[in-house]
Amino acid sequence: MPNYTNLKTPVTPTWCPGCGDFGIWTAFKMAAQQEKWDDTNTFLTAGIGCHGHILNYLRLTSFEGLHGRDLALASGVKLAQPNLNVFSFTGDGNCLSEGGNHFIHTARRNHNITVVLHDNAIYGLTTGQTSPRTPKGMPTRSNPEGAYDEPLNPLATAIAVGATFVARCYSGDIEYLAELFIKANNHRGFALIDVLQPCVTFNKVYSHFFYQKSIYRLPEDFDKTNKTKAFEKSLEWAEGSIPTGIFYEVNLPTAEEHFTTPKIETRNLSNLFKRLG
């Protein structure tokens, strides 16, 4: 059975003290221990960024892909081995900028994977450039006079393009984040968890204090099947009023189910080569 001891690797984390990645790492280990995720049933992918280091600190089979390509990698793993629990750890720059195309199409195809978006609204690994999530007007190393673009909303985007499980959590809410990891993995289809995590070094706006005074949990009776209400709630973002929880959850056919129907299974390579020849 996995536990905190045998999930750890000999590598010492190099994240900055106070980084939100520590909370994500801890919550995932809690969920893995509870659900018995190990090398026989679980595969992890990551892109390039501070988030990607999590693969070095978890003793689970994993692969770090090219910048922005981790969702394509995760989708391929799930198609090849549909019984695996597949998690893709990704950052807001990696996923929403370089990987924006993959994010949209992986969601709309409803691949049965869990996407953990490390959302610190900055490029942390490359020392503080503006990301697609940086608040408008915030000075960064690439935009010293302030970011001039409106930030991209990952929840609204995911809901609009077809994701079937969309949630948000703060990295300091570790027990609830562990619970969301389990619920997202048990969901059949594309599951997104947008994890609000401070970058204590390069983003002084979205701090632990900011989130602790701003977040609130969606009520238990919130209708998670209502796409319009989920989309409207995903647009709510203001200091003192940032909802967390499960915004949207429905059951629809997955991409993997399409490729494993009897019609598809009969198309073996021999028959295909005969037809082509």
Separation of alpha carbons 57 and 13, rounded Å: 7
Express each pLDDT in 113-126 by its tens digit.
Answer: 999 999 999 999 99
Specify whether domain 4-276 bears CATH 3.40.50.970.
yes
User: What is the rounded average pLDDT for all residues in the chain?
Assistant: 92
How many Å apart are CA 164 and CA 89, to the nearest integer?
18
Domain boundaries, the chain: 4-276
d(CA 98, CA 255): 23
Residue 164 has pLDDT above 90, yes or no: yes
pLDDT of 261: 56
Which amino acid is located at 60 in the chain? L
Question: What span, in angstroms and rounded, lies between the C-alpha atoms of 178 and 26?
Answer: 8
Q: What pLDDT sits at residue 8? A: 85
Structure confidence at residue 196 as a pLDDT band (50, 70, 90): very high
Region of poorest pLDDT, from 3-7, 253-257, 262-266: 262-266
* Cα(3)–Cα(220) distance, integer angstroms: 31
**Mean pLDDT, residues 145-171 taken together:** 96
Q: How far apart are CA 52 and CA 39, in angstroms?
A: 18
Q: Is the pLDDT of residue 259 over 80?
A: no
Question: Count of residues for the chain?
Answer: 277
Give the pLDDT band (50/70/90) at residue 44.
very high
Q: Does 269 have pLDDT greater than 90?
A: no
Mean pLDDT of 263-270: 55
pLDDT in tens, 99-155: 989 999 999 999 999 999 999 999 999 999 999 999 999 989 899 999 999 999 999
Is residue 235 over pLDDT 80? yes
Across residues 246-259, what is the average pLDDT?
94
Residue with tokens 């969702």: 71
What pLDDT score does 1 carry? 55
Q: What single DSSP character describes residue 142?
A: S
Give the pLDDT mean for 244-270.
79
Three-class SS state of 152:
coil
CA distance linking residue 248 with residue 245, whole number of Å? 9
Contact 130, 142 (CB under 8 A): yes
Place of tokens 């690439």: 142
Residue 262 has pLDDT above 60, yes or no: no
Residue 263: pLDDT above 70?
Answer: no
The phi and psi torsions of 193 (rounded to 5 degrees) equal: -115, 110
Q: Note the pLDDT of residue 68.
A: 80
Which pLDDT belongs to residue 67?
A: 86
| Mean pLDDT on 169-175 | 98
End-to-end CA distance of the chain: 51
